[in-house]
Amino acid sequence: MRVLIAPDSFGSTLGPVQAATAMGEGWTRGAPHDDVELLPLSSGGPGFLDVLGRALGGTTVMTTVSDPLGREVPAAVLLVERDGRTTAYIEASQATGLHLLGADERDPGLTSTWGVGRLLETALDEGAATIVLGVGGGATNDAGAGLLAALGAGPASALARGGLALADAPDDALLGLPAVLDRLAGVDLVVATDEETPLLGLQGTSAVEAPRKGASASQAQALENALGRFTDVLRRSLPEPPLDLLSGTPRRLERELGAGAAGGLGYALLALGGRRVGAVETVLRECGFGVAAARADLVVTGAGRVDWSTLRGSVVSGVAAATLETARPTVLVAGECLVGRRETMTLGLAGTYAVADTPSEVEAMVADPVGTLASRTARVARTWSPAR
């Protein structure tokens, strides 16, 4: 049997490539008579660059950027040449990821997206005509103000001190924004994210995402007010308001789907003329998933934690939907599964298998993520492809 193994990352313990390698090893152990192909995937967060670099090749440019608290961390930009034009791929979580902070350092009121701006600067310096930013998760909640400061739109003292400081942003905090827009005028800026959160409101990033990053209820409300102030400053600083192509009326960027992605990083990128695309759809296309799935007899995907949010905008849901078009079955190996079989079946999954179902199994998974994932995948292989 021909088996395609196409997982996402398993939380912060295993990246997509590591997870695919462990699952491939396990499947080969359980069904040595099968042909196994590995195709790690990403939803725009950690692993985005590794996945695309593995699939597309290209040149990796190493650099150093600031983490959410301003400390230097290594990062990279992937450059791919196409028809004489350079496309740059950026993984925002290299500069904003929660994995860069200790549990006691998580404070979305103080963290900044300055480092993502430096990555964007690197891509521009390399002459990129198209820049694709994988935007997922992260530890920030500053509406991309830090990124704008890094590009020269305004002073770091006003914009790069975290989301709460934006409550005091002066009216002229973004005087340099028109010059930044001129510099990006010839660049196709692509925001690859499956997050649909708007920037403001009861379903906005401060209300929904900030508490997951360490914010208290009162801090989340303060962040909402601060980001509201920042949108007023940005709206007045735009040389021309962006217009809706259908109605011709001004667009309210803070209300658009994806504006709240990564703590509002999506909002700043939309204000710079970016266009939003689905990260999973983009990765599936760039990695040639459809062709790989069509030549397989079975597709095996994976993720660290499967819950209600996994039912849309995730690698698991994207793989299941794309594989249905090839009339191949898809099974899921997950670290933990917090939804029932009925929910996973609605995605088109033929089977769902958890690495850990009990507290002791969770402890074992945390202690040995590679070994436990490989062992569980080996058992799944013996179920789906028994020895002849």
If the chain, 388 residues long, is cut into consecutive pieces of 10 residues, what is the mean pLDDT of each piece? 95 91 97 96 94 95 97 97 94 94 93 97 97 92 98 96 96 96 96 94 94 93 97 92 71 92 96 96 96 96 86 90 92 89 85 87 86 95 87
pLDDT at 367: 87
- Those residues whose C-beta lies under 8 Å from the C-beta of residue 351, and which sit 6 or more positions away, are 329, 331, 332, 380, 383, 384
* Strand ranges in 40-141 using DSSP code E only, listed in sequence order: 59-66, 72-82, 85-91, 130-134
Would you give the distance in Å from CA 111 to the centre of its chain?
Answer: 18
pLDDT at 249: 74
pLDDT at 250: 77
Token output for 292: 């790989």
pLDDT at 246: 67
Through-space distance between the first and last CA atoms of the chain, rounded to whole angstroms: 11
pLDDT at 363: 83
Q: What angle do CA 12, 351, 323 make, to 5 degrees?
A: 80
Number of neighbours of residue 125 by Cβ within 10 angstroms = 12
Superfamily name with CATH number, domain 48-280: Glycerate kinase, domain 2 (3.90.1510.10)
pLDDT at 245: 63
Question: What is 2-41+288-384's CATH number?
Answer: 3.40.50.10350
Compute the distance between CA of residue 89 and CA of residue 75 in angstroms, rounded to an integer: 12
Domain range annotation of the chain:
2-41+288-384, 48-280
Strand pairing category for 188-192 and 275-277: parallel
